[in-house]
Amino acid sequence: MQESKGREWIYPKLVKGKLYRYRDALSWSLLFLLFAGPFIKVNGEQLLLLDVLNAKFVFAGLVFQPQDFYLFVLAMLIFIVFIVLFTAVFGRVWCGWACPQTIFMEMVFRKIERWIEGDAVRQKKLDQSPLTVEKILKKGAKHTIFLLISFLIANIFLAYIIGSDALLTIIREPVSQHLAGFIAILIFTLVFYGVFAYVREIVCTVICPYGRLQGVLLDKKSMIVGYDYGRGEPRGKFRKNQENVYGDCVDCGLCVQVCPTGIDIRNGTQLECINCTLCIDACDMVMDKLQRPRRLIGFKSEEEIETGKPFKLGKRIYGYSAVLLVLISVLAFMLIRRTDIEATVLRAGGTLYQLRDDKTVSNLYNAELINKTNHTIRFDITPEEPSAKIAYIRKIDSVPQGGSIKLTFFIIQPQANIATYKSTVRLNVVSGNKVVDRIETVFIAPPNL
Ligand code: SF4
Ligand code: SF4
């Protein structure tokens, strides 16, 4: 490793074992999903859209707006409990196998680096060598490709925020018409380039809050990448014709050389370990050569390593699972009950009731209708009570997609029907032949006139 003002630059060696190949396949599938995501449409909407600027969020074609904030809070709560549960069982496996940071770093940027500069030993040599034409060409080519890929990632990242259609418009039309969008892409490009070219594993070991939380989330029953010290120690190389006083670890150091965060897993569980499982592959390879059983380093719990007993779920896991199940059920119930239109009707402030010549009585109301879909909805408001009628001040009969409208109208009832001073009126918001929302409001009138 090269000393550079306190930071040790890491040159991880590549060992292509079974787990690496699985990880490689999973990474490419996830990358495909990430890049295709903004262009997959469900119900005319992007599969996933996080438009924080316009407070519009889309999941699987369902549009969520600020009035769905309670659903958002609930979904976030489910996400947090899921992360806690998942981490308590499987440790930091997300970091090593599915996190976009690791996937891009290990499966894209490092591959390009190896392709241009060679393996770990050659990379280190190149970094330490004086400036030559070869070095300039290699470094120039690497950083140009890094910048291009960062630019691509920045575009995709933006597509999840402003939508793929808006992004394509920015790309097609002159830069001068979309200066803000263009600057955003440039800033994201530089951030991604900085992360993947220089910051690298520091994101996982220092910056990422999830990584910092491991100490709280993990316990002895959590699955982690761990070294079986009972089997491995005392470590050392035995020589032929000598009595073997050592454990299975021959202290070859390969598990350390492959580690992208530069740690020695034999020192026990460490916050820097992202569970990438590369050291498992490396050690398995050594064990195969020595004809000893695999998994001296393996994916196991600390308890399993300590006692040799197989992995068992703890009470904590059952507790988290129960909480998660309840939260998911509540969210599912709310989603099923969620209507396309949300209507609120309130009696107009400062008015009481109006007695009319035709022996009816009326109350004045203000209403707001919000359309939560991605299409215009035509509607009508009808009272459930057949004798009641609605008279609009100004009739509006449609709500634009994702928008809202305000209405003012009278509800008119025959005086003879009024039994109490304050009664409840039920209104149906009807679209087509379907009731899309039901509202209750108060009606005031002197009884038994
Ligand atoms: S790869 Fe295995 S044998 Fe080699 S040092 Fe690491 S734990 Fe020991
Ligand atoms: S210790 Fe092993 S699993 Fe952990 S980061 Fe290093 S190589 Fe990956």
Q: Among the atoms of ligand 1, which is closest to the Cα of residue 227?
A: 7
pLDDT tens digits for 123-168? 999 999 999 999 999 999 999 999 999 999 999 999 999 999 999 9
225 CB under 6 A from ligand 1? no
Distance 14 CA to ligand 1 centre (A): 15
> What pLDDT is attached to residue 160?
95
> What pLDDT is attached to residue 239?
73
Q: Check whether 107 has a pLDDT greater than 60.
A: yes
> What pLDDT is attached to residue 449?
52
Whole-number CA gyration radius for the chain: 32
pLDDT tens digits for 264-312? 999 988 889 999 999 999 999 999 999 999 999 999 988 899 888 777 7
pLDDT tens digits for 163-204? 999 999 999 998 888 898 899 999 999 999 999 999 999 999
pLDDT tens digits for 213-235? 887 888 888 889 999 999 999 99
For the chain, the domains span 1-338, 341-444
pLDDT tens digits for 421-448? 999 999 999 988 888 888 999 999 988 6
Q: Check whether 108 has a pLDDT greater than 70.
A: yes
The residues lining ligand 2, judged by C-beta closer than 6 Å to any ligand atom, are 225, 258-261, 263, 265, 273-279
Q: Which two tokens stand for residue 291?
A: 């004809």
Distance 270 CA to ligand 2 centre (A): 9
Residues 6+ apart with CB under 8 A from 92: 211, 214, 224, 273, 274, 275
Ranges 38-47, 320-329, 358-367: which has the least confidence: 38-47
Structural contact between residues 300 and 311, judged by C-beta atoms closer than 8 angstroms: yes
Would you give the DSSP letter of residue 404? E
15 CB under 6 A from ligand 1? no
285 CB under 6 A from ligand 1? no
- Rounded to an integer, the average pLDDT of 244-248 is 84
- Rounded to an integer, the average pLDDT of 384-413 is 90
Residues 6+ apart with CB under 8 A from 124: 1, 2, 11
> What pLDDT is attached to residue 45?
85
> What pLDDT is attached to residue 341?
86
pLDDT tens digits for 389-401? 999 998 898 999 8
Distance 227 CA to ligand 2 centre (A): 11
pLDDT tier, 3 (very low <50, low <70, confident <90, very high otherwise): very low
> What pLDDT is attached to residue 351?
81
Q: Among the atoms of ligand 1, which is closest to the Cα of residue 282?
A: 1
pLDDT tier, 407 (very low <50, low <70, confident <90, very high otherwise): very high
Residue/partner pairs of 326-331 with CB below 8 Å, 24 or more apart:
327/74, 327/77, 327/78, 327/81, 328/78, 330/74, 331/71, 331/74, 331/75, 331/78
Residue with tokens 């109301």, as numbered in its chain = 365
The structural architecture, per CATH, of the domain 341-444 is Sandwich (2.60)
Axis crossing angle, helix 120-128 with helix 133-162, rounded to the nearest 10: 110
Bridge partners of residue 440, in order along the sequence: 426
Average pLDDT, the chain: 90
278 CB under 6 A from ligand 1? no
> What pLDDT is attached to residue 5?
57
In terms of Cα–Cα distance, which of 297, 189, 216 is closest to 253? Answer: 297
Q: Among the atoms of ligand 1, which is closest to the Cα of residue 285?
A: 1
Q: Check whether 251 has a pLDDT greater than 80.
A: yes
Q: How far apart are CA 433 and CA 312, in angstroms?
A: 55
Q: Check whether 383 has a pLDDT greater than 60.
A: yes
Q: Check whether 103 has a pLDDT greater than 90.
A: yes
Report the side by side order of strands in the sheet with 56-59.
48-51, 56-59, 62-64
pLDDT tier, 1 (very low <50, low <70, confident <90, very high otherwise): very low
Count CA atoms closer than 13 A to 292's CA, side-chain side.
Answer: 15
Q: Check whether 338 has a pLDDT greater than 90.
A: no
